[in-house]
């Protein structure tokens, strides 16, 4: 047990802890303003159910034309139909994390970029940028099937 919790990562965690203490360890102000639980939430984030309304408010779309407006509505409807587990997986797919951003889901800043057309293609994502590369599909059913297929096949970075 001692090895598992203390020695296994000692080489990596030692310099991290030293640096952390140098930056915030001596701050009396920080200790009076922030509890340990609050500091954990600031550093790690919290896991709250995805708020699609908040995400949609700040989302941007790239490469879509005026004629694609209906299709984008269909995309939002499909994501809104996801259950909690599917929403969780969607968040991991586009961001590699299930944690709520520090300022809440409005700070998620999802980008939905058009990525060609074709029912055989799968959506892809650039997680560092919360960028969803979404092909245009022929129907809502194909859109939902491909999106679910993509989000169920992802692993994220395993940092949650």
Strand partners, 114: 134
Exposed, middle or buried, 71 (CB in 10 Å: 0-12/13-18/19+)?
middle
Which member of 17, 44, 87, 128 is catalytic?
128
Beta bridge pairs of residue 131: 111, 126
To which residue do tokens 């809104």 refer? 80
Q: How far is CA 18 from CA 11, 23, 152, in A?
A: 12, 9, 39
Tokens read off for 81: 């139909």
Per DSSP, 100 falls in state B
Q: Does the annotation mark 87 as catalytic?
A: no
| Long-range Cβ contacts of 139-143 (<8 Å, 24+ apart) | 140/74, 140/77, 140/78, 143/74, 143/75, 143/78
Task: Give catalytic residues, as residue numbers.
Answer: 128
């Amino acid at each position: 047990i001692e090895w598992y919790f203390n020695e296994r990562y000692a080489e990596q965690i030692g310099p991290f802890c030293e640096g952390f203490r140098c930056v915030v360890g001596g701050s009396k102000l920080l200790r009076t303003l922030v509890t340990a639980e609050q500091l954990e939430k600031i550093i790690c984030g919290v896991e709250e159910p995805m708020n699609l309304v908040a995400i949609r408010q700040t989302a941007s779309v790239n490469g879509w034309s005026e004629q694609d407006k209906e299709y984008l509505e269909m995309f939002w409807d499909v994501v809104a139909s996801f259950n909690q587990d599917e929403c969780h997986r969607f968040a991991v797919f586009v961001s590699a994390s299930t944690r709520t951003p520090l300022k809440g889901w409005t700070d998620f800043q999802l980008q939905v970029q058009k990525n060609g057309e074709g029912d055989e293609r799968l959506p892809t994502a650039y997680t560092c940028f919360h960028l969803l590369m979404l092909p245009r599909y022929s129907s809502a059913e194909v859109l939902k099937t491909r999106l679910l297929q993509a989000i169920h096949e992802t692993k994220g970075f395993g940092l949650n």
